[in-house]
Structure 1
Amino acid sequence: MNETTQTQGTLRSEARIAHGALHRLRQDLFVDAFAFRPMPPLEDAKISRWVPWLPERIRHWARWLPHFIVGFFAVCVFLATFSMSYGIGPVRGVLSVGFSVLVSAAPALTLFRPVGAFWLSLSGFVMVQGATTAFSSYGGGYRDAAFTTHLAVMTLVVLRTRPRLAVEMWLVTFGVGAVLTALGGGGMGDLVPVAFFFGVVLVSAAAVRAWREERRHVVETQTVTAEERSRRTLLEERALIARELHDVVAHHMSVIAIQAEAAPYRVENTPPELATSFATIRENAVAALAELRRILGVVRSEDPDAFADSDPEAPQPTLASLDSLLDSVRSAGLTVEAVITGSPRPLPQGVELSAYRIVQEALSNALRHAPGADARVEISYVLGGIGLRIVNGVPSRLAKPSPGAGHGVLGMRERVQMLGGEMTADHTKEGGFEVAAFIPVANTVGENTA
């Protein structure tokens, strides 16, 4: 009983496999066989990478090179088969011209309807095979041409569609070929090596198609991964900026709250209305501080230890701390000089902090990506803002691979855009790297006193 049940289960599994194979064969070769699927031109990026020396106008037409090659092949097939129709009589001549058109049209059709081109090519081969029996003295050349063209058509269809069509078209072609050979009374001896040769060619085409698909998927995956990495880095940088701005704004709000609380005691006989106003100011300042802490907690919730290495009570750095930053960078092996133009003046703490971080990140990138190079920091106090320029020369030795390359520039640009400024970061003509930024300042502020 168990053996019978196992046998029935095996038969059902085999039946399901066969049914699935027939269903895929029907979907691939019969459903919408003549659907319009035009072959797109080559991408401009590929043309620029393969033949960068071509002029722009010629490079535009080079995108259609595969179409020209397939069309030229179709014309060659027509001319080769049409030349066989000379001197064979009017009836055979008309048939020969018809066969030439039928056989040569299939390669051209692969550009627009690839599966339909396979059926057209197979039909042409069947008709030529039948005509060979009737006109054996002239049919051999047509048969060879139709066979070769059919192989080319199947190869183009595999390259244009999917790899599994190679097996399906091979089975259909040599199934039909075996039937025609049996009906014509011929032997199967020649069919086996031809089938093997066709199989090798189609498997190779399917491997090329599978490799191209895999490569495309890898490129898409790498692109998505790079975008996700950039987005994650941007969010991390924004969290850091939020923490720093919290410290800056919290300091000002604390000063407002303290001054609002102390103001009524500095004036004798303070009017009740004025005392109430100061109390309201203090309450709003304290409420704002609480909101700032809550928002910062939300930003830092995904990584509560993101700022564990820094002292939360320590003051945020400003351009006044630039000398200590440069000394630290010099001790790490980077030769750097600083040039300050204009009259240094106090700037808003957010601007001071962002300017310091931009210089710090640019010098860190120089240390990481340009070992042994010299660097120069230029700070310009101009009317309406502050300009920054950090440039490094050509590295004197190879840099170690850095998986986070480019993310520092992303953070610097985020800081500048947050303050309404502009920034550029690009390689110099000499082979170094330059970061230039301008941060606008509407009004300068004096130093705050508590």
Structure 2
Amino acid sequence: MNQTTQTQGTLRSEARIAHGGLHRLRQDLFVDAFAFRPMPPLEDAKVSRWVPWLPERLRHWARWLPHLIVGFFSVLVFLATYTMSYDIGPVKGLLVAGFCLLVAAPPALTLFRPVGAYWLSLLALGVSDFASAAFSSYASYFDGAAFPTLVATMVLVVLRTRPRLAVEMWLVTFAVAAVLTAVTSGDTGDLPPVAVFTGVVLISAAAIRAWREERRHVVETQTVTAEERSRRTLLEERATIARELHDVVAHHMSVIAIQAEAAPYRVENTPPELATSFATIRENAVAALTELRRILGVVRSEDPDAFVDSDPEAPQPTLASLDSLLDSVRGAGLTVDAVITGAPRPLPQGVELSAYRIVQEALSNALRHSPGADARVEISYVLGGIGLRIINGVPSRLAKPSPGAGHGVLGMRERVQMLGGEITADHTEDGGFEVAVFIPVSASAGETTAGGSAS
């Protein structure tokens, strides 16, 4: 009983496999067989990579090169089959010309209706076999052209669609060929070797198509991964900026709360309305500080940067701390000089912090990507803002590969854009790297900062 049940289960499994195979065969070769599926032109990147020496105008037309090659092949097939009919009468010539067109059209049709082109080429093979058997006087015109063109058409269809069509078309083709051979001549001696040869050709085409699909999938995956990495880095950088700006905003909010609390005691006989207003200001400032601390707990990073103090309560650095930063990178092996032009003056805390972080990130990149190179930091206090220029020379030894290449520049751009400034970061002519930044600072902001510091 168990053996019978097992046998029945095996038969049902095999039946399901066969049914699934027939269903895929029907979907691939019969459903919408003549649907319009045009082959797009080549991408500009591929054309530029394959024929970079072509002028720009010709490179645009080179995108249609595969279409031209397939169309030229169809023309060659038509001419090769039709040239033998030049010495026959007009009626026979018209019939042979129609047959030549039926044989030559499928390769070109694969550019627009690939599966339909296969069926048309298979029809041409059937017409060729029947005409050669029924009309011996036409045999010389019909023999030899249909089958090679059918094989070429099947290869083009596989390259245009999917690899599994190679097996499906091979099965259908040689099933039809076996029937045609049995009906017309009955001699199947050449059929097995031809079937093996055709199978090898189609499997090779399917392998090429599968390799192309896998390569495209890998490129898409790498592109998506790079985009996700950049997006994640951007979010992390924004969280870092938010954490750092918390200290700047918290300082000002604390000053507001203290001033609002002390203001009523500086005026004799303070009106109740004024005292209530100051109390409201202090309460709002304290509530804002509480919310800032709550948000800071969400965005705080657990992994501090290489040159950031590990103490979370430490004050945020400013350009006044630049000497300690330079000492740190010198201790890590980077030779760096600093030049300050203009009259140093107090800047808004957000500008000071961002300027410090930009210099820090640029020097970190120099350590990471240009080992052994010299670096130079230039800080210019100019009217209307502050300019930064960090430049490093050519590395003296090979740098270790870094998966985060370019993300430091991304963070610097985020900081500069937040402050409405401008940044350029690119390689220099001698092979080094330069970061140039300008951060605008209004005169009123500078005066406010100076006044706050003096108080």
> Which TM class, normalised by the smaller chain length?
over 0.9
Deviation at 1:141, TM superposition (A): 5.7
State the distance in 1 between where 2:217 and 2:83 align: 46
> What amino acid sits opposite 1:201 in the alignment?
V
In structure 1, the residue matched to 2:341 is 341
Question: What is the percent sequence identity of the aligned residues?
Answer: 83
> Counterparts in 2 of 1:131-210, with a 5 A limit?
131-136=131-136, 138-140=138-140, 142-210=142-210
State the distance in 2 between where 1:417 and 1:289 align: 26
Contact 2:133 2:185 in 1 (8 A): no
Deviation at 1:153, TM superposition (A): 0.4
In structure 1, the residue matched to 2:354 is 354
State the distance in 1 between where 2:186 and 2:304 align: 80
State the distance in 1 between where 2:65 and 2:127 align: 32
In structure 2, the residue matched to 1:244 is 244
> What amino acid sits opposite 1:98 in the alignment?
G
In structure 2, the residue matched to 1:259 is 259
State the distance in 1 between where 2:356 and 2:412 align: 11
Superposed CA deviations along residues 386-430 of structure 1, whole A, max 9, x for unmatched, are 111111111111100111111111111111111111212111222
Residue 453 of structure 2 is aligned to residue 448 of structure 1: yes
Residue 12 of structure 2 is aligned to residue 12 of structure 1: yes
State the distance in 2 between where 1:397 and 1:386 align: 34
Superposed CA deviations along residues 206-244 of structure 1, whole A, max 9, x for unmatched, are 000001101111111111111111111111111111111
In structure 2, the residue matched to 1:124 is 124
SS of equivalent to 2:146: helix
Superposed CA deviations along residues 52-81 of structure 1, whole A, max 9, x for unmatched, are 121111111111110010011000001000
Length-normalised TM-score, structure 1: 0.96
State the distance in 2 between where 1:191 and 1:202 align: 16
SS of equivalent to 1:423: strand
Deviation at 1:7, TM superposition (A): 1.5
In structure 1, the residue matched to 2:272 is 272
Change (3 A) 1:379 1:309: closer
State the distance in 2 between where 1:449 and 1:229 align: 44
State the distance in 2 between where 1:18 and 1:84 align: 46
In structure 1, the residue matched to 2:77 is 77
Identify the range of structure 1 (135-144 vs 417-426) with the bigger mean alpha-carbon deviation: 135-144
Deviation at 1:131, TM superposition (A): 1.3
In structure 1, the residue matched to 2:390 is 390
State the distance in 2 between where 1:399 and 1:72 align: 51
Contact 2:240 2:299 in 1 (8 A): no
Number of matched pairs:
448
Structure 1, unpaired ranges of 5+ = none
In structure 1, the residue matched to 2:21 is 21
Residue 439 of structure 2 is aligned to residue 439 of structure 1: yes
Contact 2:96 2:141 in 1 (8 A): no
Superposed CA deviations along residues 128-150 of structure 1, whole A, max 9, x for unmatched, are 11111134465256332111111
State the distance in 1 between where 2:369 and 2:136 align: 75
> What amino acid sits opposite 1:257 in the alignment?
A
Deviation at 1:305, TM superposition (A): 6.3
The two structures, once aligned, show a CA RMSD in angstroms of 1.7
Contact 1:84 1:96 in 2 (8 A): no
In structure 1, the residue matched to 2:428 is 428
Contact 2:390 2:436 in 1 (8 A): yes
Residue 69 of structure 2 is aligned to residue 64 of structure 1: no
State the distance in 2 between where 1:130 and 1:18 align: 32
SS of equivalent to 2:345: coil
Length-normalised TM-score, structure 2: 0.95
State the distance in 2 between where 1:294 and 1:449 align: 31
SS of equivalent to 1:378: strand
> What amino acid sits opposite 1:183 in the alignment?
V
Deviation at 1:434, TM superposition (A): 1.4
Superposed CA deviations along residues 325-374 of structure 1, whole A, max 9, x for unmatched, are 11221222212222222221110000000000000000100110011112
SS of equivalent to 1:63: helix
State the distance in 2 between where 1:387 and 1:272 align: 49
SS of equivalent to 2:453: coil
SS of equivalent to 2:249: helix
State the distance in 1 between where 2:299 and 2:309 align: 17
Contact 1:318 1:349 in 2 (8 A): yes
Residue 315 of structure 2 is aligned to residue 318 of structure 1: no
Contact 1:125 1:143 in 2 (8 A): no
In structure 1, the residue matched to 2:410 is 410
In structure 1, the residue matched to 2:111 is 111
